[in-house]
């Protein structure tokens, strides 16, 4: 990407691999520690971004995101600003459960989650609309701030919801396109009128 001081850029990434990822469990807002692989992923992403000076750094307050953020920053001295709006989708009693258990006990809602997110509605859980409302509000707020390069470390569903603002997807196509893998990097670039364009989508070259 060509460096241009007149442009704002948001660098958006998911946390590194966690124990729950390896065990094929839903995470939601229940935390799970990074694996050694996950730590290595975050360090490699940080190495690929070491020449970029971040004016602002935001993270989900969940441990797996905050820890990944620290490894990504490395020797950089940025303050990590935690914002609850970047937390993963709230999944209540689904959190920490293996996917095969959910398939057995909640087959209809699990199908909605992956195939018809607009219809996902489970007591104690966020809907996809509620998730998008908070993440889109967050983006609206940070675009009012002064920065050139801004880093966000968050979660897969959150990142998909944010990218909806620029890639033309709707709820019927929420999961289409690139899957948000651990430490995959997306970059949104804005002109002086704050028109955004996705310059990089779930890139994994650093690994």
Catalytic residue ranges: 15, 88
And the tokens for 123?
A: 């007591």
CA pair distance 102, 26, nearest whole angstrom: 9
Percent of the chain that is helix, strand, coil (3-state, to 5): 40, 20, 40
Helix axes 156-167, 128-142, angle to 10 degrees: 70
Q: Which of 150, 158, 128 minimizes the C-alpha distance to 194?
A: 150
Do 199 and 187 form a contact (C-beta atoms < 8 A)?
yes
CA pair distance 194, 27, nearest whole angstrom: 33
- β-pairing verdict for 80-82 and 56-59: parallel
User: DSSP H helical segments within 15-127, as ranges?
Assistant: 19-22, 36-48, 63-73, 99-105, 107-115
């Amino acid at each position: 990407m060509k460096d241009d001081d007149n442009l704002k850029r948001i660098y958006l990434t998911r946390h590194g691999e966690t124990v729950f990822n390896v065990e094929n469990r839903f995470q939601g807002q229940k935390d799970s520690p990074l694996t050694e692989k996950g730590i290595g992923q975050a360090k490699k992403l940080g190495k690929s971004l070491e020449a970029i000076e971040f004016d602002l750094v935001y993270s989900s307050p969940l441990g797996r995101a905050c820890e990944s953020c620290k490894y990504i920053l490395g020797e950089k001295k940025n303050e990590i600003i935690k914002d609850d709006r970047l937390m993963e989708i709230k999944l209540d009693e689904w959190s920490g459960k293996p996917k095969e258990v959910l398939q057995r006990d909640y087959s209809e809602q699990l199908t909605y989650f992956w195939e018809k997110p607009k219809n996902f509605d489970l007591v104690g859980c966020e809907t996809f609309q509620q998730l998008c409302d908070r993440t889109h509000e967050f983006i609206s707020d940070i675009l009012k701030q002064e920065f050139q390069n801004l880093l966000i470390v968050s979660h897969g569903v959150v990142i998909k919801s944010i990218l909806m603002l620029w890639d033309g997807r709707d709820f019927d196509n929420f999961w289409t396109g690139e899957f948000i893998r651990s430490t995959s990097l997306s970059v949104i670039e804005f002109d002086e009128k704050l028109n955004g364009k996705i310059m990089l989508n779930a890139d994994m070259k650093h690994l």
